[in-house]
Structure 1
Amino acid sequence: MTAPNLRNRYLQDSIQTASPAKLLIMLYDRLVLDLGQGEEALRAGDLETAHEKITHAQEIVIELQVSLDVEAWSGAPGLANLYGYLITELIGANIAKSPERVAVCRGFVEPLRDAWRDAAAAAVAG
């Protein structure tokens, strides 16, 4: 088996065996990565890479939005609204080729990722 095949198998196994909390954190980690790389690509003038990264970030936010149970807790409707805002901003950033708008989105996402990570760690420790 080749190295890329082994890597893909490892990733698939990691995803299939991850807890819901771990999957959420994995999505947020990838979202932050995509936003950072998209912003960097825009600043470098690499519009093709920027489009790819920002579009992937949009797909992740859409997945987070559709999988959110807005009845599960009182903060869920606000989070759903934030996801809607992020999608709108990312579309606008991609059209306008605005690294600043991508940075603003990343500024919202990073603290959320950290909060989910802390919550998951507290649940395991608790």
Structure 2
Amino acid sequence: MYDARTRYVTAAVETAAPARVVTMLFDRLLLDVDRGHAALEQGDVLGGRSHLQHAQDIVAELMASLDAASWEGGPGLMAVYAYLYSTLVEAGVQGDAGKVLECRSIVEPLATTWHEAAALAAAAAPAAPAPAAAGLLGVG
């Protein structure tokens, strides 16, 4: 059964704007990469693999949601995602913390860029109209 945190996260993702969902995915991807690296550094290969598998799932979702043909940079971004995915797989299979750091060096600037793009998109979006005043606390 789902706990309250899981229900909250599910609702947050389901109601978030697309740009926000991408930033949430990148935030979690960074967390998984960091946790995977820490586990491998501590000799916990199984724990590291678990975090890296979740990171792979996120990258697979990013790849599936990317329409590479819709913009000029799409094929290049898809190639970056494919490289990241394969390197995460290699890192998990080999228990290679160095490869995990290489992945982090790719993910971090992408995450920063997506956060900046999401902020720009939010700033450019028209504000929702305020509801008409209907009395005290909008009732009446």
TM-score (norm 2): 0.84
Query: 1:1-126 counterparts in 2 under 5 A?
Result: 5-126=3-124
How much does 1:5 deviate? 2.0
Let me know the Cα RMSD of the aligned residues: 1.1
Q: Deviations over 1:62-112 (max 9, x none)?
A: 111111001221111001001111111111111111101011001101110
Count the aligned residue pairs. 123
Distance 1:82 1:32 in 2: 15
Percent of pairs with identical residues: 42
How much does 1:9 deviate? 1.7
Distance 1:99 1:5 in 2: 33
Identify unmatched segments of 5+ residues in structure 1: none
5-14 or 104-113: bigger deviation: 5-14
Query: AA paired with 1:72?
Result: S
User: Which structure would you say has the larger Rg?
Assistant: 2
Distance 2:30 2:73 in 1: 21
SS at 1:38 equivalent: helix
Distance 2:13 2:123 in 1: 22
Q: Deviations over 1:8-62 (max 9, x none)?
A: 2211110111010010011111100000000110000011110100111111111
Distance 1:83 1:102 in 2: 14
Identify unmatched segments of 5+ residues in structure 2: 125-140
Distance 2:93 2:8 in 1: 35
